[in-house]
């Protein structure tokens, strides 16, 4: 994994990253010199702890982070063959997310930074997602980011480190959340996204008609709650639903989401071209929903039509991980000294301070 910098920026930096804002406990070490290298990437998913509840339970998540974080950090350091003397800084997610988990990660990072006498970098989780493609695919500023996960659904214009403009967001459910709720109401297991995709493959996409919410309105905002309700209404009419009906409903739901995302992506690319007439647009997709093949091909198609570059970082760096947090820390350090020791954990922390406020807390944390 390489990312080249100009020689003036080529100072070696080795950063330990820590991520605990949702249901992954993660630690990683990333080194940046002339090229950048992921020295370790340890992720422990809590899916087993949350499965029986059909979603992430904040209190259980926080406790699970406490139990394993020390061990995960030790593993990341040992896999990277690093000791504290070879680390230049500790970066940790300071928000947005489930506050119990964020507190665990940030306080652990502060303790390590204090004990090892290293600077602490407080990273916005969304910024971690936003900057990953610069590590994995050498993407230059400015570019578009579509973040589609269980807690977030938004289009961001990434102008520079620390300069982000939110172009559009969901006005209700995050996309992953809509997949999870749809799966639950059809009796499919958690997490719902992969289960819906598996069933959709066997479904007849023409049998049910579902709406394409908000597409009759300009702009880049999205809505997914109505889609889920429309699906429930169709399912209730046919109760008890048989296996084929479940597959057909999944196919209709997935196609509707893919259509909405493709349409909004086309609009985002048009907007980008108007703003940056001499720059070939790049659209980066991140978040767990990016694993969905139908959504991916809809986005690839929209990018191709607009002659734009489409970038999807490797799946293990698209979902929550600590490499992205270490990398965001490096990006900040390259701009000058950072000392965030007195930063407080934040459940809500929009990347774009000028955009409208967040929508409240969802099952997977703050919706932004």
Q: How far is the CB of 155 from Zn ion (least distance, A)?
A: 15
The yes or no reply on residue 180 touching ligand KG4 (CB under 6 A) is yes
Classify residue 240 by burial, with Cβ atoms within 10 Å: 0-12, 13-18, 19+.
exposed
Residue 317 in tokens: 């760096």
What lies within 8 Å, CB to CB, of 323 at 6+ separation is: 17, 28, 30, 38, 41, 132, 135, 317
Residue nearest to Zn ion (CB): 320
Interaction of residue 20 with ligand KG4, rule CB under 6 A: no
Secondary structure of residue 152 in the 3-state scheme: coil
Residue 19: beta bridge partners?
A: 26
| Per rule CB under 6 A, count of chain residues that contact ligand KG4 | 21
The option from Zn ion, ligand KG4, none interacting with 203 (CB < 5 to 8 A, set by class) reads none
Residues 134-153 vs Zn ion: string with x where CB under 5 A? ---------------x----
Q: Which does 292 bind (CB under 5 to 8 A by kind): ligand KG4, Zn ion, none?
A: ligand KG4
For ligand KG4, the nearest residue by Cβ is: 193
Cα-based angle 259, 205, 252 (whole degrees, multiple of 5):
55
Neighbours of 63 (CB within 10 A): 15
**193 near ligand KG4 (CB under 6 A):** yes
Residues 76, 82: Cα–Cα separation, whole Å: 9
At its nearest, how many Å lie between Zn ion and the CB of residue 147?
8
Please select the residue that binds ligand KG4; options are 3, 25, 170, 319, rule is CB under 6 A. Answer: 319
Distance of CA 264 to the CA centre of its chain: 18
The nearest distance, CB 125 to Zn ion, in angstroms, is 6
- Segment 252 to 291, residues that bind ligand KG4, using CB under 6 A: 287-289, 291
Q: Does residue 68 touch ligand KG4 according to CB under 6 A?
A: no
Pairing of strands 36-45, 24-32: antiparallel
Lookup: tokens for 255: 């196609």
CB of 177 to ligand KG4, least distance (A): 6
Among 158, 292, 303, 347, binds ligand KG4 (CB under 6 A): 292
Binding Zn ion (rule: CB under 5 A), the pick from 172, 320, 331, 340 is 320
Question: In the bound complex, what is the minimum distance in angstroms from residue 124's beta carbon to Zn ion?
Answer: 11
- Find out whether 177 and 150 touch, Cβ atoms under 8 Å: yes
Ranges within 21-40 binding ligand KG4 (CB under 6 A): 22
Nearest to 351 by CA among 99, 161, 132, 89: 161
What is d(CA 146, CA 351) in angstroms, rounded to the nearest whole number?
14
- Look at residues 185, 193, 295, 191 and name the one whose alpha carbon lies nearest to residue 245: 185
Q: How far apart are the first and last CA of the chain?
A: 30
Could you tell me the smallest distance in angstroms from the CB atom of residue 249 to ligand KG4?
15
Nearer to ligand KG4, 192 or 203 (CB): 192
- Minimum distance of ligand KG4 from residue 103's CB (angstroms): 17
Q: Cα separation of 327 and 330, whole Å?
A: 5
Angle at 133 between CA 132 and CA 137, to 5 degrees: 135
Q: Are strands 163-169 and 361-362 parallel, antiparallel or unpaired?
A: unpaired
Contact region with ligand KG4 (CB under 6 A), list: 71-79, 175-183, 220-228, 262-270: 175-183
Q: State yes or no: residue 149 binds ligand KG4 (CB under 6 A).
A: yes
Asked if residues 80 and 319 have their Cβ atoms less than 8 Å apart, the reply is no
Residue 50 or 332 with smaller CB distance to ligand KG4:
50
Minimum separation from the CB atom of position 317 to ligand KG4 (A): 11
Among 17, 105, 176, 213, binds ligand KG4 (CB under 6 A): 176
DSSP state at residue 201? T
- Chain residues that interact with ligand KG4, rule: CB under 6 A: 22, 149-151, 176-177, 179-180, 191-194, 197, 287-289, 291-292, 319-320, 364
Binding site for Zn ion (CB under 5 A): 149, 320
């Amino acid at each position: 994994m390489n990312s080249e910098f100009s020689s003036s920026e080529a100072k070696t930096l080795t950063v330990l990253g820590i991520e605990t804002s949702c249901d992954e406990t993660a630690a990683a070490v990333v080194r940046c010199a002339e090229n950048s290298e992921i020295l370790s990437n340890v992720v422990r998913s809590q899916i087993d702890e949350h499965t029986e509840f059909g979603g992430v339970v904040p209190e259980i998540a926080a406790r699970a982070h406490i139990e394993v974080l020390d061990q995960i950090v030790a593993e990341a350091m040992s896999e990277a063959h690093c000791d504290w003397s070879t680390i230049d800084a500790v970066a940790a997610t300071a928000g947005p997310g489930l506050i119990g988990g964020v507190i665990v990660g940030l306080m652990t990072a502060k303790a390590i930074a204090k004990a090892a006498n290293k600077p602490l970098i407080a990273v916005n989780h969304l910024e971690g997602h936003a900057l990953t493609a610069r590590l994995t695919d050498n993407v230059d500023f400015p570019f578009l980011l579509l973040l589609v996960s269980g807690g977030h659904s938004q289009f961001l214009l990434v102008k520079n480190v620390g300069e982000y403009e939110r172009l559009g967001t969901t006005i209700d459910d995050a996309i992953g959340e809509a997949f999870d709720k749809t799966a639950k109401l059809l009796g499919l297991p958690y997490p719902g996204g992969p289960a819906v995709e598996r069933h959709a493959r066997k479904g007849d996409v023409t049998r049910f008609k579902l709406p394409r919410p908000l597409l009759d309105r300009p702009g880049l905002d999205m809505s997914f709650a109505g889609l889920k309700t429309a699906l429930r209404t169709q399912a209730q009419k046919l109760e008890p639903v048989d296996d084929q009906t479940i597959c057909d409903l999944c196919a209709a739901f997935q196609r509707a989401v893919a259509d909405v995302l493709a349409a909004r992506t086309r609009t985002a690319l048009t907007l980008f071209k108007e703003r940056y007439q001499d720059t070939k647009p790049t659209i980066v997709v991140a978040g767990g929903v990016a694993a969905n093949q139908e959504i991916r091909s809809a986005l690839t198609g929209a990018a191709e039509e607009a002659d734009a570059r489409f970038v999807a970082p490797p799946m293990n760096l698209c979902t929550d991980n600590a490499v992205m947090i270490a990398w965001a820390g490096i990006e900040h350090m390259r701009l000058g000294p950072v000392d965030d020791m007195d930063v407080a954990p934040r459940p809500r922390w929009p990347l774009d301070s000028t955009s409208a406020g967040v929508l409240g807390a969802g099952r997977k944390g703050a919706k932004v």
